[in-house]
Amino acid sequence: MMAQVQTTLTLNASSDFDDSRQVDVTATIKSVKTAGTIDLISGGGGIPTLTGGAVDVKMYATSQNNFEAQIPVQSLPDNSFSFNIPRTGGQADLAWVQGASRVLQNGTNALFGPYDYTANTAPVPVVFNFTGPTFSTNDAVSVWVHLSTDAPATYEKTNLQVTTNDGGATWSYTGDLNYPATGTLSFYACYPYDAAYADPTAIGFSVPMANPLQRGAAPTVAASSDPVAIPLQSIESGLAQVDLQVTFNGSSDYDETRANEVVATIQNVQTSATLDLTDGSITATGSTGPLSMDVVTEAADFSVLLPVQELPGSNAAFTIVVPRKTPLDDTHAWIEGPASAEQLSAGANNNYGPYDYDLNAVPIP
């Protein structure tokens, strides 16, 4: 009079099944009759006469992805089973229908399946959310996209221009960029956008920078309808800050009334460098030359940012131009610095001085 119905589901790893929600996988037998009568007097072999309307019967999970239910003997049509499949990428759960028609037999186990879920529905597009700088209309970010199953230094997108038209609230790009069926995506970003960029491991720049580059990364991102959050940070923390302090001996020929004419230059340094967006490292490149230092405190403190490198020695790393008193009324190029070459440190204040100017070349009447 009753039949044991069993079914098995397999979930293909390449599908859009969300394995973090395994508990939400369920099975239902659709449109079956669960009530009936048996005529014990006239016989009929104990086969019930089914009555009432058809209903859906939830099956019990006997183990992971294995389900069963007991129902009265009857005929099951095609597509009698509905499996609830939780899906990735913010997609709604899917009612996946399967099953072949069969007449159930009394007292038997009716086995259906296994049914292999391999569906991979509409691709999930990548949505960006950049933070950090104060963005304006038509600002853009350069983005490189690496797929985890690709070879190193191979990119799905190279210098993709991602633009905001509302100050960073939303971002858009031209063309398609979707999450893969398998694997994850890694994103490497540089702000502001520059069409000349090609290699994300060698973004060229030079100091001083009026607007420092901003770098951001989001590695190994799985498919999701949520925006990819990429905080952008200034690369200045990867540079070396060189601070110079000078003092002037009261008996020297320094003309303190012309303090605004005191300038400092750092000598024989590399001012060009490359930035690796994948790890944030900065490498000094190119030839050496002089670089003017910023005035922090007039005639006292000077500062400059440099790519990490070795500062020249021989007491000649800095040239300070000193205005001199009457009757000289000229300037003197004062040379100072460490005796030996020194390696600068990134993200730190590399302090030099105080160096005291005591030259007195004013004639004594």
Q: Provide the residue-wise pLDDT of the chain in tens; the chain has 365 residues.
A: 789 999 999 987 767 888 899 999 999 999 899 988 877 766 555 567 888 888 999 999 999 999 999 999 999 988 899 999 998 877 778 888 898 889 998 888 999 999 999 876 667 889 999 999 999 999 999 999 999 989 999 999 999 999 999 999 999 999 989 988 778 999 999 999 999 999 999 999 999 999 999 999 999 998 887 899 999 999 999 999 999 999 999 889 999 999 999 999 999 999 999 999 999 999 999 999 999 999 999 999 999 999 999 999 999 999 999 999 999 999 999 999 999 999 999 999 999 999 999 999 887 66
The domain spanning residue 168 has which CATH number?
A: 2.60.40.2620
Whether residue 145 is found in the same domain as residue 220: yes
Q: What token pair was written down for 250?
A: 């009261």
d(CA 79, CA 84): 14
Residue 122 lies in a domain: no
Whether residue 81 is found in the same domain as residue 102: yes
The domain spanning residue 102 has which CATH number?
A: 2.60.40.2670
Residue 33 CB contacts under 8 Å (≥ 6 apart), including other chains: 50, 51, 52, 53, 54, 55, 71, 72, 74
Report the pLDDT value the prediction gives residue 122, as an integer from 0 to 100.
62
Whether residue 208 is found in the same domain as residue 259: no
User: Concatenated DSSP letters for 67-98?
Assistant: EEEEEES-EE-TT-EEEEE-BSTTPPPEEEEE
Residues in the chain: 365
Q: Look at residues 94, 117, 140 and tell me which one is the last residue of a structural domain.
A: 117
Whether residue 228 is found in the same domain as residue 148: yes
φ/ψ region of 66 (left if φ > 0, alpha if ψ in -120 to 50, else beta) reads beta
Whether residue 232 is found in the same domain as residue 243: no
Residue 364 lies in a domain: no
Report the pLDDT value the prediction gives residue 12, as an integer from 0 to 100.
78
0.75 surpassed by pTM: no
Whether residue 250 is found in the same domain as residue 353: yes
Q: Which residue has the tokens 């021989």?
A: 314
Residue 365 lies in a domain: no
Q: Look at residues 98, 117, 136 and tell me which one is the last residue of a structural domain.
A: 117
For residue 138, what are the domain limits? 128-236
Q: What is the pLDDT of residues 107-160, one digit of tens each?
A: 889 999 999 998 766 678 899 999 999 999 999 999 999 999 899 999 999 999
Q: Look at residues 236, 264, 290 and tell me which one is the last residue of a structural domain.
A: 236
Report the pLDDT value the prediction gives residue 131, as an integer from 0 to 100.
97
Residue 47 lies in a domain: yes
Q: Which residue has the tokens 């190029």?
A: 333
Peptide bond into 125 cis (omega under 30): no
CB 330 within 8 A of CB 359: no
Residue 14 lies in a domain: yes
Whether residue 77 is found in the same domain as residue 186: no
d(CA 361, CA 328): 8
Q: Which of 147, 130, 224, 232 is nearest to 183 (CA)?
A: 147
Report the pLDDT value the prediction gives residue 315, as an integer from 0 to 100.
95
The domain spanning residue 338 has which CATH number?
A: 2.60.40.2630
Number of domains in the chain: 3
Adjacent-strand bridge partners of 55:
32
Whether residue 183 is found in the same domain as residue 261: no
What residue type is 159 in one-letter code?
Answer: N
d(CA 29, CA 35): 15
Helix (H, G, I), strand (E, B) or coil at 193: coil
Whether residue 35 is found in the same domain as residue 112: yes
Whether residue 54 is found in the same domain as residue 99: yes
Whether residue 246 is found in the same domain as residue 225: no
Residue 94 CB contacts under 8 Å (≥ 6 apart), including other chains: 84, 85, 87, 119, 121
Residue 362 lies in a domain: no
Whether residue 247 is found in the same domain as residue 230: no
